Structure 1
Amino acid sequence: MRLADRLMRALTDPSFQVEVERADLSQISDEELGSLLPAAYRVGRSSTPSMMTARSAIQDLGRERQPRYTPDACRRMFEALVAQREARNRADLTLGAGSLLRCTGPWPDVFGPARTLTEFLLEKDDMNQPYALLAVAGLAGGTVLRAVAERLCRSEGPIALDETGTITGLAPAERALLSEIDRARSLTSPPPLADAWQRLAGVPAYAAFARRALQAAADRADAIQAGKIPYRADKAFTEREVVALGHAARVALLRDEPWLPALLDRLLPGIAVAPTAAKTLPSQALLYEVVRAGQDFPTPELVTAVRTVRTVVRHAGVPRQLDRMLKRVEAALAERTDVALRLPTLGFGDDGVLRREAGGYAAVVTVAETAGLTWEKDGRPLRGAPAPVRRDHGDLVKELRDLVKRVGVQLGTLARALEGGFTVDAVHPYGWWRAELVGHPIARAVVRRLVWEIEVAPGEWRAVLPGAGNLPDAPDDASVRLWHPIRSEPGTVRAWRDLLTERRIRQPFKQAFREIYLLTPAEEETRVYSNRFAGHLVHYRRMFALFRARGWASGLLGPWDGGDEDEAVRTLAAGQWQARFGHALADWEGDHELAATDRVRFARRVEGAFREVPLAEVPPLVFSEAMRDVDLFVGVTSIAADPDWTDRGEDRHAAYRRTAAFGELAESARARRDALERILPRLKIADRCSLDGRFLVVRGDLRTYKIHLGSANILMEPDDTYLCIVPSPRRSGGTVFLPFEDDRLSLILSKALLLAADTTITDDTILHQIKRGA
């Protein structure tokens, strides 16, 4: 008997038992799951333990997968919801609407069950699933649909009323889409359909509502600012209106509507700043909802608008929250390369320079690695803004300083978008790339410092550095993509690293020196998970902050129910792959919240749901980029790299710290070593330094020191005594050129420069340690 048949019998026959715990539920097809779910939802609380176990297993599977329902299974799901209503005095309509959207054939006639369910919720005045309720009510006829619409429109505000009216005029399948994307969907529903928003955005009536709604919101914000509507903190819109406007914003952002940027420039300041001197907001809820919409469908213009608003908000906590949210928006923007690379010229000339005259003086804004503002008089540079200009042209000075900040934001956003495009393997037409990126007065500051590949013949890619000139002749429709070292031979990678170092080109993100993570024999053995970064002790709060900064989603661990372990999840390759990094609470000592790292797993999107796959099936670039993040999490937050941890003495974590602080080098540390091989010969202390395995060895006059290239911890010869140097803002690598930004590399160099001249050290705590065993 097939597993699906055994499970169906276990759900319907109290005398039949199956060992669900030992069953391989991955054998269940999506169609079989769609048949089993209605039977699972018919199992009542008074059923046998075996039936309850089977019900839980199938329902759990239904939350993870995308079931496919035959018309008969759809009908049975509605009948199960009616039975559920009778037994549990509730009805989960999202399951019914969702089954129809996943139906493999013509929709069945569910007029009777739909009417029963709708009238039941109307009688209870249960409006907790408004969009599912509208979808199911429409199946019960126009009279029932109008009754639901009238009930939903009570005191919900005109924008919510407009959305409800729009929905009632849609086709049944279009109404069901609103149930699919509703945040109030039940915890028992399957993951939303991957194309639900795209399908909704393609409905002309709803796209028209989106524009009306956002325009009405901006008009209301203007009226509040003008005093035409009395101001009440965070009461500018009802709760239902905020939800409706969130839908409208997502549809407009997804459609990349040309009218949206100007409207956001009106709306966001209007809802973020009180018309009085109060530090409250007209609608904090809507501000956050628009930014959340940007996390789903970001645009560069939205990022700029939110960053602009962040500077004017008076509420102390809002800028911090916006900063956290913007990190997720920018991470998502990297996955949307079709709009992420769009930059305005902002009045800059082809040479990347903007000049403005003011009272005989000239302001010059130049875009190089970043934007900078300088002032001139008759062609001679000045140290700063002249006093007459500050006095008579204050608005211009402020405008130009704001422009510099805005360009800096755009350059950072562009760099993050390009870097994030690695896992998408984004490809651009050569003609567009040459004109709109390489030739763009602002974008070129980022683009020309990166290595690119141009397909000069089918399957033949030529790597170029646009800043060096000599672009090859290629047709405008030839493909261009960012070069990644994982696609090149080691000799080619070394050549690019040598060139960048020789020409002192600092890349906007680590590209030529980028770490590469290939599948290891141990990972081939474990097959579906990697233990490469398991078993480390890390500062949990620091790692949690890095999760957010790098676009990983994770619940917060803590000493509460269910807070002992979690997985951080990052979605890559335009939503087709997921990486999952397990971690668990290991210790809770006041400010020292420690987590233990665990396995890394990967899942692929299959028919709208993610399914775990063997590591060998993960595209090498996706695998490498995800593991690079995990290496960063461990390397930055491990207690082995924390010099303050030594002050705690021999605690129960000392053994781990001793092993990890001076252990084998991870890929990030190997890239650091490769950079040092090129940097050290150029330093004034070159004759005192050498690389020896895992260490940078520095010869001082008092002792010889070994700096670990992973943790930056120091051992002193001859007896490998530990030397603790707590980083200070005043100690740095100075003006040493680094081909990429790396705080740990800067720290290693600053320690090397300090220890090479150890007789000049004046810090007593350092000197005492050095001289104690010298």
Structure 2
Amino acid sequence: MKLVARLLRAMTEPTTEDEDLRTWYPDLSALSDRDLGDLVPAAYAVGREAPFVSMSVRLRVEDEAKQRQPRYTPEACERMFQALVGGLAQRKWADLELGVGALVRCTEPWPDLAGPARTLVEYLLARERLDQPFALLAIGGLAGDDVLRAVAHRLDRVRQGPIARDELDLVLRLEPAERVLLAELFDTRSFTSPAVAPHVWERVAAIPAFVEFARAAMEAAADRVRAVQEGEIPFRADKAFTGNEVAAVGHAARIALLRDEPWLPDLIDRLLPGVSVAPTQAKALPSQAMLYEIVRAAQEFPTPELVTAIRTVRGIVRHAGVPKQLDKMIKKVEAALAERTEVALRLPELGFGPDGVLRRDLGPYTAVVTVTAGKAELTFEKDGAALKGVPAPVRRDHKAEVAELRDLAKRVSAQLVTLARALEGGFTVDAVHPFARWRDTLLRHPIAGPAVRTLLWQIEAAPGDWRTVLPEADELPDAADDAPVRLWHPIRSRPDEVRAWRDLLVERRIRQPFKQAFREIYLLTPAEEDTATYSNRFAAHLVHYRRMFALFRARGWTSSLLGPWDGGGSDEAVRTLAAGEWRARFSHALADWQGEHEIAGTNRVVFDRRGDGGWREAALADVPPLVFSEAMRDVDLFVGVASIAADPMWEDGEGHEYWVRAWYADLGESTRTRREALERVLPRTRIADRCAIDGRYLVVRGELRTYKIHLGSANIVMEPDDAFLCVVPERRAAGARVFLPFEDERLSLIISKAFLLAADDAIEDESILMQIKRGA
């Protein structure tokens, strides 16, 4: 309480005793959420003419409040509204979101706020400040029906489009507390606002009138694009909906997605293609804004059906820039879907048989769509014999059916990608499924089954007795229908068990949809025990920044783009894990942006735990081992793939010293896993007698020279003088045909180079031969 009183005094009536607050930064994390609720009104009331110390404390209080969830007593709510009114003269505006936020987070019944509410709303209406429409409606309702009607009348003049006006009519019919909830969600968050309060979406989704509006709005939007496609409404690029309508449909979509309404997939399948492809040959979209708004809704409340619909649209849209933007957005959707386990693993059967095969007769030929662990493939047969390509009569007489089946194969492949991402993302949330549901809806599912059966699962047959099974090779143990089932992770097993599973996968040639048995694990090191709250394991690396930034997005990390502008020199990449309970932060900074390539330097990794309404930095020893391992695995990927050490052409000054240092560095976890895979795969190849693994290198004996391929970077030097060899193998090189139990681009590259160099006397590429013969 002493700290609260001192901060209040510093913002309202500072004394000489408070001057140290100019440079002393007290730990505001010690404040309770209620303490923050007492301080925020005072912070807002600090004006531009206030002493520097008051402004300094105000900024720190506001920054803390943005990271937390302040709680307001009725008295604090009243002070918040008084501060908003008091600031009108100076600001010529009031941040109504702060008033709404105080009401949403009020610990007791609201005080009578009719007076300040009327003052605020009448002032803003007189100056046409309508940029917080839902807050205007919510606070206008507190002032009285006459003020609420005045707000509605003014908004009705500026809100364009029937769907937007329907939403306005709905808001007027709601109760005051319901209008406040909508304002918390639907108005743009102000700079000083905290994140949306917990459970507000669920509370809005429980309002029957809004659920009715959600369905009506989605149906109206679908009908609109049908009319555009059929020519009833003239096509104009990105003009099918007004901006207000896009926002209203976005609100409706989020509520329907949160509730997982059964009627939604059909409407999405009608709406998304309709807004994405012009009825003419134009590359423009009927509503690019609506497409992106629906995808943003999916980032918050994803469903597998919507992810599949987005992927389908991504394949048919004609606008050159839209697929790239969708690719970026889909990564976030998939990361969110992985943590929404109650819907993430749901897949339609689409007419496939129990064996994962769909057959359709096309005259004397049969089209066959077959589901494997990773994708669906369309092939053709005649009299039971497989054919190469599409038979000419089928191409001629069954164009529509072939196009439909190709589209089906693409959609199923997209669903399998979504399933794999959702399953893999379940690691950090420790997702558990009831045995009967897992068996019947996943293991025996005609589309999901082939992928699910190649993964390792743990079934709790009895309390504490977790049994690991590979359904592709093992019988399932007897278990109760409600027995927990979870994905196996190597961090939970002994090293000998991990080795046995890896051997079995290679022996049976079972390829997993994502790296599971060969998954790297990262345990706390003595150095990290010493640093306690941060890890330098992946610090001091030089990386191609744009490549690393792309990997951030691919793995569901968020980060601002760095560049030579104010504040663009450094940032943190952040990923939330364990259903929002933990987050990892990976700091990095630009090292050089003057040259041809943007180079960044890497720094420490830290972990935060959610608590007391905000994030609190945690000791590494307190991070759950699986969460720690999965986060560090991502960072290892960023550094390993983007490092300039993996660039065979790097010759730049100081960076070259790092390049050489990385060549001799100890192997990291990902490289050790790559070496283990090679030890199992190479003996089964025709070049086995020419290959040997020596520490960090794969040594390949050719006819002309002997070569060392680095297992981390895939770069090559030649014996005896360690002269560097630059090789860019063909995409479809021999190594690409070697069975690998998981997908790893670097491992495939190493094997491709090994096949090439083992037969170096057959190389025809003069640029390679010249390098080899120069020192042979």
Same fold (TM over 0.5): yes
Q: Is 1:298 the counterpart of 2:299 in the alignment?
A: no
Q: Is 1:81 the counterpart of 2:84 in the alignment?
A: yes
| Cα distance, 1:155 vs structure 2 | 4.1
Q: Is 1:319 the counterpart of 2:323 in the alignment?
A: yes
Q: Secondary structure at the match of 1:446?
A: helix
Match of 2:9 in 1: 9
| Cα distance, 1:630 vs structure 2 | 0.8
Q: Secondary structure at the match of 1:17?
A: helix
Read off the aligned partner of 1:227 and give its amino acid letter: G
- 1:168-211 Cα distance to aligned partner (Å, 9 max, x none): 22222322222222351101101112322222112211111111
| Aligned-partner Cα distance in 1 for 2:663–2:766 | 24
Written as runs of structure 1 = structure 2, the 5 A alignment for 1:482-493 is: 482-493=487-498
Q: Is 1:235 the counterpart of 2:236 in the alignment?
A: no
Match of 1:635 in 2: 640
**Structure 1 residues 700 and 380, CA, compared in 2 at 3 Å: closer, same or farther?**
closer
| Aligned counterpart for 2:672 among listed residues 641, 657, 670 | 670
Written as runs of structure 1 = structure 2, the 5 A alignment for 1:171-182 is: 171-182=175-186
Written as runs of structure 1 = structure 2, the 5 A alignment for 1:94-173 is: 94-156=97-159, 157-173=161-177
- 1:563-592 Cα distance to aligned partner (Å, 9 max, x none): 111111112222222211111111113540
| Cα distance, 1:730 vs structure 2 | 4.8
| Aligned-partner Cα distance in 1 for 2:243–2:300 | 20
Q: Is 1:19 the counterpart of 2:47 in the alignment?
A: no
Q: Is 1:274 the counterpart of 2:278 in the alignment?
A: yes
| Cα distance, 1:641 vs structure 2 | 0.4
Written as runs of structure 1 = structure 2, the 5 A alignment for 1:676-691 is: 676-691=678-693
Written as runs of structure 1 = structure 2, the 5 A alignment for 1:300-699 is: 300-369=304-373, 370-645=375-650, 649-699=651-701
Q: Mean alpha-carbon deviation: is it higher for 718-727 or for 255-264?
A: 718-727
Match of 1:712 in 2: 714
Match of 1:743 in 2: 745
Say if 1:453 and 1:464, in contact at 8 Å, map to a contact too.
yes
| Aligned-partner Cα distance in 1 for 2:379–2:104 | 59
Q: Mean alpha-carbon deviation: is it higher for 366-375 or for 447-456?
A: 366-375
- 1:263-292 Cα distance to aligned partner (Å, 9 max, x none): 111111222222333222221111110011
Say if 1:567 and 1:583, in contact at 8 Å, map to a contact too.
yes
| Cα distance, 1:508 vs structure 2 | 0.6
- Give the aligned length: 771
| Cα distance, 1:516 vs structure 2 | 0.3
| Aligned-partner Cα distance in 2 for 1:581–1:726 | 32
- 1:464-499 Cα distance to aligned partner (Å, 9 max, x none): 011114111111111111100011111111110011
Q: Mean alpha-carbon deviation: is it higher for 206-215 or for 307-316?
A: 307-316
Q: Any gaps of 5 or more consecutive residues in structure 1? A: none
Written as runs of structure 1 = structure 2, the 5 A alignment for 1:53-72 is: 53-72=56-75
Q: Secondary structure at the match of 2:157?
A: coil
- 1:661-720 Cα distance to aligned partner (Å, 9 max, x none): 331111111110111111122122222222222222223343332222111122333343
Read off the aligned partner of 1:547 and give its amino acid letter: F
- 1:400-456 Cα distance to aligned partner (Å, 9 max, x none): 111111111111111111111111111111111111111111111110000000000
| Cα distance, 1:56 vs structure 2 | 1.1
Q: Secondary structure at the match of 2:147?
A: helix
Q: Secondary structure at the match of 1:449?
A: coil
Read off the aligned partner of 2:251 and give its amino acid letter: H
Say if 1:695 and 1:706, in contact at 8 Å, map to a contact too.
yes
Read off the aligned partner of 1:228 and give its amino acid letter: E
Say if 1:218 and 1:263, in contact at 8 Å, map to a contact too.
yes
Say if 2:529 and 2:621, in contact at 8 Å, map to a contact too.
yes
Say if 2:135 and 2:187, in contact at 8 Å, map to a contact too.
no
| Cα distance, 1:733 vs structure 2 | 0.8
- 1:83-124 Cα distance to aligned partner (Å, 9 max, x none): 111222110010111011111222122111111111111111
| Aligned-partner Cα distance in 2 for 1:193–1:577 | 18
Aligned CA-pair RMSD: 1.7
Match of 1:254 in 2: 258
Q: Secondary structure at the match of 1:471?
A: coil
Q: Mean alpha-carbon deviation: is it higher for 666-675 or for 8-17?
A: 8-17
| Aligned-partner Cα distance in 2 for 1:376–1:732 | 28
Q: Secondary structure at the match of 1:274?
A: coil
Q: Secondary structure at the match of 1:432?
A: helix
- 1:496-534 Cα distance to aligned partner (Å, 9 max, x none): 001101111111100000000111122222222211111
Q: Mean alpha-carbon deviation: is it higher for 609-618 or for 51-60?
A: 609-618
Read off the aligned partner of 1:13 and give its amino acid letter: E
Say if 1:641 and 1:661, in contact at 8 Å, map to a contact too.
no
| Aligned-partner Cα distance in 2 for 1:574–1:258 | 25
- 1:611-636 Cα distance to aligned partner (Å, 9 max, x none): 32222222111111111111111100
| Aligned-partner Cα distance in 1 for 2:71–2:328 | 37
Say if 2:134 and 2:187, in contact at 8 Å, map to a contact too.
no
| Aligned counterpart for 1:204 among listed residues 186, 204, 208 | 208
Read off the aligned partner of 2:592 and give its amino acid letter: D
Say if 1:192 and 1:608, in contact at 8 Å, map to a contact too.
no
Read off the aligned partner of 1:79 and give its amino acid letter: Q
Say if 2:132 and 2:187, in contact at 8 Å, map to a contact too.
no
**Structure 1 residues 536 and 86, CA, compared in 2 at 3 Å: closer, same or farther?**
same
Q: Secondary structure at the match of 1:186?
A: coil
**Structure 1 residues 274 and 760, CA, compared in 2 at 3 Å: closer, same or farther?**
closer
| Aligned-partner Cα distance in 2 for 1:24–1:472 | 54
Say if 1:583 and 1:597, in contact at 8 Å, map to a contact too.
yes
Q: Any gaps of 5 or more consecutive residues in structure 2? A: none
| Cα distance, 1:608 vs structure 2 | 4.5
| Aligned counterpart for 2:37 among listed residues 34, 45, 54 | 34
Q: Secondary structure at the match of 1:586?
A: strand
| Aligned-partner Cα distance in 2 for 1:445–1:98 | 49
**Structure 1 residues 315 and 650, CA, compared in 2 at 3 Å: closer, same or farther?**
closer
| Aligned counterpart for 2:96 among listed residues 93, 108, 112 | 93
| Aligned-partner Cα distance in 2 for 1:394–1:603 | 56
Q: Mean alpha-carbon deviation: is it higher for 17-26 or for 664-673?
A: 17-26
| Aligned-partner Cα distance in 1 for 2:686–2:297 | 52
| Aligned-partner Cα distance in 1 for 2:196–2:614 | 9
Q: Secondary structure at the match of 2:593?
A: strand
Q: Mean alpha-carbon deviation: is it higher for 330-339 or for 87-96?
A: 330-339
Say if 2:133 and 2:187, in contact at 8 Å, map to a contact too.
no
Q: Is 1:189 the counterpart of 2:193 in the alignment?
A: yes
Q: Mean alpha-carbon deviation: is it higher for 597-606 or for 512-521?
A: 597-606
The TM-score normalised by the length of structure 2 is 0.96
Say if 2:201 and 2:255, in contact at 8 Å, map to a contact too.
yes
| Aligned-partner Cα distance in 2 for 1:235–1:398 | 30
